[in-house]
Structure 1
Amino acid sequence: MARVRQERAEITRQAILDGAATAFDHAGFDGTSLSDVVKHAGVTKGALYFHFPSKEALARTLMDEQFQISADVPAIENPGLQTVIDLSHQMAYGLRTNVRVRAGIRLVIEFASFTNPDPTPYNTWIDTAHGCLTPAQERGDVLPSLDVHDLSTFLVGSFTGIQVTSHVRTGREDLHTRVADLWNFLLPGIVPAPRIPHFDPTGSPECRAELGLQVPAAG
């Protein structure tokens, strides 16, 4: 019976997160009430408060959902530049297909842009990129003159701006193409010329197969 209760509790918790994601994705943090979450989740307020003590606790949990995308990076034997390229496309895919990722990123931007900004999510992605690009530089895939931390910071900021622009202009329909543009423009400035052909701006074949992506059209 205890196991059944635990399973039901987890189902309820996931329903609350799905409902909150739908509400936050639509209206943002300030525009969403707990009543909106309850309505979208199909649960009672009592159930909501059992799992989450506040709207901010819900938002923080959803903001952390994005890091599921990078959860497997520590297990990669030789992370490098292509790992970061693939992560950018995996995040793009998450934004296009997963309401939790979409809501979490909207919340990150809201929380980081106004009163009492929280840089933690950005710093976490910067650290992830740094952990991949440092061995890439040691292998000769990134120019030795570059500061890898500065490059990682630039990449996270660039992706953030690209995904916001894509959202506003096309509802993120062109996001993978725009991410590929980022890498096409960037690689000649950060990779020794003989090494550039080793990297695919559209994502590795394994990444594209996992996400079901075609090679983006130019333009």
Structure 2
Amino acid sequence: MAKARQERAEITRQAILDGAAISFDRAGFHGTSLTEVVGHAGVTKGALYFHFPSKEALARTLMDEQFQVSEGVPAIVNPGLQTVIDLTHQMAFGLQTNVRIRAAIRLVVEFGSFTDPDPSQYNGWIDTCGDCLTPAQERGDVLPSVDVHDLATMLVGSFTGIQVASHVRTRREDLHARVTDMWTFLLPGIVPAQRIPLFHPAGSFECRALLGLPSPDSPKPTAG
């Protein structure tokens, strides 16, 4: 009986997060009301307050969820530069297909809406990138003159700006192409020339297969 109650409570909690994601994705933090959240979630306000004491608590929970994309990094035997490239494409895919990730990233970008802005979301991504780039540099895949932390900080800032511009211009339809451009232009400045061919700006074969993306060399479909 207790297990059944716990399962029902978790189902309700997830419904609330789904409803909040829809609202935050459409209207941002200030433009979202808890009435709209419960309407999308199909629950009562009492149920919402049982799980989340405030709209900000809801927002912070969704913001924390964005790190699910990088959960598998610690299990990778030899993380490196291609790991970071693939993570940016995985995040791009999430932004295109997952309303929770879209809502989380919009909330992070709007972090100034909060009374006490929290940089931990950005710092978490910077740390994840740095944890992959440090062994890459030790293997000779990143130039020794490059400061890995500065590179990781620049990557997170660049991706943030690229996805915002892509959202405004194409509703993120071109996001993978723009991320590929970022890496194509960046690699010659951070990787020894003879090692550049080892890396795939459009994502590794395994990454693209996992995300269901076509090979970057595949011909574009023709209208007909």
Aligned 8 A contact 2:62 2:100 in 1: yes
Q: Measure the CA separation in 2 of the matches of 1:169 and 1:97.
A: 17
Deviation at 1:120, TM superposition (A): 1.1
Q: 1:112 to 1:79 in 2, by over 3 A?
A: farther
Q: Give 3-state SS (helix, strand or coil) of 1:69's partner.
A: helix
Aligned 8 A contact 2:24 2:32 in 1: yes
Aligned 8 A contact 1:82 1:204 in 2: yes
- 2:222 counterpart residue number: none
- 2:206 counterpart residue number: 206
Aligned 8 A contact 1:166 1:175 in 2: yes
Q: 1:50 to 1:113 in 2, by over 3 A?
A: closer
- Any unmatched runs of 5+ in structure 2? 220-224
Identity %: 79
Aligned 8 A contact 1:85 1:183 in 2: yes
Aligned 8 A contact 2:20 2:40 in 1: yes
- Any unmatched runs of 5+ in structure 1? none
Residue 126, structure 1, aligned to residue 126, structure 2: yes
Partner amino acid, structure 1, of 2:172 = R
Q: TM-score, normalised by structure 2?
A: 0.94
Aligned 8 A contact 2:29 2:113 in 1: no
Residue 93, structure 1, aligned to residue 109, structure 2: no
Aligned 8 A contact 2:22 2:100 in 1: yes
1:119-155 CA distance string (max 9 Å, x none): 1111110000000000000000000001000000010
1:89-108 CA distance string (max 9 Å, x none): 00000000000000000000
Deviation at 1:214, TM superposition (A): 1.3
Residue 139, structure 1, aligned to residue 144, structure 2: no
Q: 1:112 to 1:190 in 2, by over 3 A?
A: farther
Partner amino acid, structure 1, of 2:124 = T
Q: 1:125 to 1:112 in 2, by over 3 A?
A: farther
- 1:5 counterpart residue number: 5
Deviation at 1:215, TM superposition (A): 3.2
- 2:32 counterpart residue number: 32
Q: Measure the CA separation in 1 of the matches of 2:172 and 2:121.
A: 21
Aligned 8 A contact 1:112 1:119 in 2: no
- 1:174 counterpart residue number: 174
Aligned 8 A contact 1:130 1:149 in 2: yes
Aligned 8 A contact 1:89 1:176 in 2: yes
- 1:18 counterpart residue number: 18
Deviation at 1:87, TM superposition (A): 0.2
Aligned 8 A contact 2:205 2:215 in 1: no
**How many residues align structurally?**
218
Q: TM-score, normalised by structure 1?
A: 0.97
Aligned 8 A contact 1:111 1:118 in 2: yes
Deviation at 1:116, TM superposition (A): 4.2
